[in-house]
Amino acid sequence: MTQTDGQAAIRGLDRDLRGQLPGHTLITDPAQRETYACDGLAAYRVRPALVVLVESAEQVAQVVRACARHGVPFVARGSGTGLSGGALPHADGVLIVTSRLRTLHEVRPEDQRAVADPGVINLAVSKAANPLGYYFAPDPSSQQICSIGGNVAENSGGAHCLKYGFTAGHVLSLDVVTPDGEQITLGTEAPDAPGYDLLGAFVGSEGTLGIATRATLRLTRLPQDVHTCLAGFGSTDDAGAATSAIIAAGIVPAAIEIMDALAIEAAEAAVSCGYPEGAGAVLVVELDGPAVEVADELERVEQICRDQGAFEFRAATDAAERAEIWKGRKSAFAAVGRISPDYIVQDGVVPRTSLPEVLREMGRISAERGVRVANVFHAGDGNLHPLVLFDAAQEGATERAEEVSGMILDLCIEHGGSITGEHGVGADKARYMPRMFGPDDLDTMQLVRCAFDPAGLANPGKIYPTPRMCGERPRIVHAADEPVLEQAEVF
């Protein structure tokens, strides 16, 4: 489609929608549209041709059907906190914003379920469920602002996903508007529905398979007791070894987080968190469950940490002290702004046992390239969040930081990990997908996308480096593969 075709299509769509939706839902003013030009990854900006602030699932379906009629691409947006450019708009497309769909329809302790609109804020589910003894376990650090729809699309995780798992394990069913505007339900409230796990395919699909308009979520019982402790180590190697030793001892903490010396320095500068002086790394461990079990685990965790070289160990005795321990960790990303004018938040994952080696390699790359890297990560999951520091005002600094950032992802792949642990691929990491997957893998994944979205209108340009037309024959690498690929094409 040429730019002129795209603009003509959007004009036709705009006329169409004005006949169907209340005027206040349609944002056409350029300055207002500009406020939606990026998500949490502000390095990429595209002003959408039209923004629709939908107020019901039916309106989502109306907009998507109109997009299908006019051949206009659309992008879903929840709270816009995504860090991989997943909600980056399309210049000739519609941005469908779900932030007005904020009704929490039900909280049902009797079967541990909640039913939420996609724009409901993650933390709002737990706030409503807490008085009944429950909470929503997936807890991205952005949980005060990110939406359930965004969590579903990104299969988001958080500090406590080591024990409780990612969003995928907490979604039972979804109402979805498919890319041709049909309203369907994926999954059921009863376990183990027959047939393909289409709900599983949708969770984590980053808005490329349709738009979720309602979610039935699994609630988790609040633990009887919670203990949080902090251990100071000389190095990330020792902190990593302690992490592995804790898990090997059969203890599954709710969270295990590591911060290295540079991240500690940033957090101290920002919030004076009082972490052990001179630490090369700190480990934050949270244990939850029945009171007797947790008390026993706390003793064992202290012993393990000391055996692995911890020179200081503190356990919080009340909620205020717990918050004090978490303060440094929770402020770490923003705090890095205190020690560097610019930084890239990278997200990669490795098997937990590779952590010490990967961190050492990362240190080598950092020293070799003269680019500082601060590390704050979900150690239990091996989910790294290296913060690559630079000063964009210095010539070539941005390019060097991006190069180091890419090298870190290569390290993750070399060690059997992945280019994203929880922030998704989006627009930003599509270029890295071929480093992890071969052309056949990428073709096969796109066949799934084509099955949902033959016209390719749902969030185009995301996840895949080279989008493939759905009618197109999959790429043939070896003649011997041909029959297999032909079968795949039928699927």
Interface with ligand FAD (CB under 6 A): 39-40, 75-83, 86-87, 98, 118, 140-142, 146-147, 149-151, 153-154, 156-158, 206-207, 211-212, 333, 422-423, 459
**Residue number with the smallest Cβ distance to ligand FAD:** 150
Minimum distance from CB of 138 to ligand FAD (Å)?
8
What is the spatial distance between Cα 238 and Cα 126, in angstroms, rounded to a whole number? 35
Minimum distance from CB of 275 to ligand FAD (Å)?
20
3-class state of residue 167 by DSSP:
helix
Amino acid at site 308: Q
Are 10 and 73 in contact by the 8 Å Cβ rule? The answer is: no
- Complex with ligand FAD: residue 215 or 411, whichever CB lies closer: 215
Amino acid at site 234: G
- Complex with ligand FAD: residue 149 or 460, whichever CB lies closer: 149
- Complex with ligand FAD: residue 82 or 223, whichever CB lies closer: 82
What is the spatial distance between Cα 420 and Cα 385, in angstroms, rounded to a whole number? 10
Minimum distance from CB of 426 to ligand FAD (Å)?
6
Minimum distance from CB of 124 to ligand FAD (Å)?
12
- Complex with ligand FAD: residue 57 or 294, whichever CB lies closer: 57
Minimum distance from CB of 427 to ligand FAD (Å)?
9
Minimum distance from CB of 290 to ligand FAD (Å)?
27
Are 137 and 160 in contact by the 8 Å Cβ rule? The answer is: yes
Residue 265 phi, psi dihedral angles, 5° rounding: -60, -45
Minimum distance from CB of 190 to ligand FAD (Å)?
23
Are 404 and 410 in contact by the 8 Å Cβ rule? The answer is: no
- Complex with ligand FAD: residue 75 or 246, whichever CB lies closer: 75
Are 54 and 77 in contact by the 8 Å Cβ rule? The answer is: no
Minimum distance from CB of 463 to ligand FAD (Å)?
9
What SS3 string covers 87-132? CCCCCCCEEEECCCCCCEEEEECCCCEEEECCCCEHHHHHHHHHHH
- Complex with ligand FAD: residue 305 or 389, whichever CB lies closer: 389
Amino acid at site 35: T
- Complex with ligand FAD: residue 6 or 210, whichever CB lies closer: 210
Minimum distance from CB of 312 to ligand FAD (Å)?
26
Distances in Å between the Cα of 183 and the Cα atoms of 18, 66, 148, 180, 213 are 21, 14, 18, 9, 9
**Furthest CA-CA distance within the chain:** 71
- Complex with ligand FAD: residue 61 or 310, whichever CB lies closer: 61
Burial of 443 (0-12, 13-18, 19+ CB in 10 A): buried
- Complex with ligand FAD: residue 113 or 423, whichever CB lies closer: 423
Taking alpha carbons only, the member of 344, 374, 346, 380 closest to residue 359 is 374
Q: Pairing state of beta strands 94-97 and 50-53?
A: parallel
What is the spatial distance between Cα 263 and Cα 283, in angstroms, rounded to a whole number? 12
